Amino acid sequence: MATKNEYNHEHAPRMEWARHAPEVYKAMVRLDAAARQGVDPTLLELVKIRASQLNHCAFCLDMHTKDALAAGESVDRIIQLSAWEESRHFYTAREIAAIELTEAVTVLTDGFVPDEVYERAAKQFEEAELAQLIAAITVINAWNRFGVTTRMAPGHYTPGQYNH
């Protein structure tokens, strides 16, 4: 009989994809480093957390919430991120534009990013910054898909363990 406070067993990853596809992994690390150039680190973590929430990537949520906290992000802002539309006062207009763009790119409702979402982001970011932000959003979505598909187990990451 299980006790009241007994946790479920941790699932095993389906595979260690980075070990089996090392060149893809190395290319992803390089792409990640290139995509984040010029993107505010705090904003980048918010984007990575929000995309990972939408994609249900527990491994990336573990990683990026820990990295955000280690970088000084507040617990309140991280908690409220999943309900940002009701918690706009926790974020700047620039952050809201980035979060909204993250959702549009991640979900691709009706197969496209709405013009009004793109235009709000374009008002908050210079064109080069916006290009980098779009790249960063795309990269975290790719990482999420590797993590979710291979069932990478969360809970073992320490801040700064990886460079992505």
DSSP letters along 87-102, please? Answer: -GGGS-HHHHHHHHHH
What is the per-residue pLDDT across 89-145, written as a single tens digit (0 to 9) for each? 999 999 999 999 999 999 997 779 999 999 999 999 999 999 999 999 999 999 999
Distance (Å, whole) CA 121 – CA 130: 7
Which token pair is 122?
A: 């374009």
Higher-pLDDT residue of 40, 155: 40
Of 17, 20, 73, 30, the residue nearest 49 (C-alpha): 73
Which pLDDT tens digit goes with each residue over 47-68? 999 999 999 999 999 999 999 9
113 against 163, higher pLDDT: 113
The SS3 of residue 7 is coil
